[in-house]
């Protein structure tokens, strides 16, 4: 009788392992996880002061608002010049899927974006403070890109 139970236990363990593997694959290869990775990369470049690389992750609608040179100059001017902060840390929360999202008035809706809330923590000449912003990621031509909300 003991031998008959062994295959059942092995089948149960195997089934649990397969379910666990499926769950891991779904989490790490989900669009929300990939979108969050792009947001993480963007803010990692920003925290390092590599504004050229962070700009390269912006969606074309954002690049139209912020030409590369102006973006880089403005980020340095605001964060280092005004805030007196050389770098910052950040947290990323969320990952909600939003359909037909509109970046700004007069801009056509984007089919699907993922919304994240990014909290940047600065320590500068005016003390410590937090900057909280909703950030959106969209897959464009096979690459995840960053958008900000310009609706008023």
At 61-111, the pLDDT tens digits run 999 999 999 999 998 888 777 777 877 899 999 999 999 999 999 999 999
12 within domain boundaries: no
17 within domain boundaries: no
Predicted local distance difference test score (pLDDT) of residue 9: 77
Q: What is the pLDDT of residues 99-124, one digit of tens each?
A: 999 999 999 999 999 999 999 999 88
13 within domain boundaries: no
Provide the 10 A C-beta neighbour count for residue 39.
23
Q: Are 110 and 100 in contact (CB under 8 A)?
A: yes
- Cα separation of 61 and 142, whole Å? 16
Predicted local distance difference test score (pLDDT) of residue 121: 94
Instruction: Count how many domains the chain has.
Output: 1
**What CATH number should be reported for the domain holding residue 56?**
3.10.450.100
Predicted local distance difference test score (pLDDT) of residue 81: 78
| Percent share of the chain, pLDDT over 90 | 62
Q: Are 92 and 118 in contact (CB under 8 A)?
A: yes
26 within domain boundaries: no
- Among 122, 119, 121, which Cα is nearest to 135's? 119
Provide the 10 A C-beta neighbour count for residue 59.
21
Predicted local distance difference test score (pLDDT) of residue 72: 94
Q: CA angle at residue 128 from 125 to 134, to 5 degrees?
A: 120
The parent domain of residue 66 ranges over 32-148
């Amino acid at each position: 009788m003991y031998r008959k139970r062994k295959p059942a236990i092995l089948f149960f363990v195997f089934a649990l392992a397969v379910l666990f593997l499926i769950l891991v694959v779904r989490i790490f290869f989900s669009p929300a996880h990939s979108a969050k990775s792009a947001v993480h990369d963007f803010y990692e470049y920003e925290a390092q002061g590599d504004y050229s690389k962070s700009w390269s992750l912006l969606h074309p609608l954002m690049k139209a608002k912020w030409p590369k040179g102006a973006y880089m100059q403005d980020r340095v001017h605001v964060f280092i010049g005004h805030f007196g902060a050389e770098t910052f840390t950040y947290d990323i929360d969320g990952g909600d899927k939003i359909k037909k999202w509109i970046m700004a008035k007069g801009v056509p809706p984007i089919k699907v974006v993922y919304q994240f809330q990014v909290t940047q923590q600065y320590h500068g000449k005016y003390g410590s403070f937090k900057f909280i912003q909703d950030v959106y990621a969209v897959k464009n031509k096979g690459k995840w890109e960053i958008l900000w909300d310009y609706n008023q």
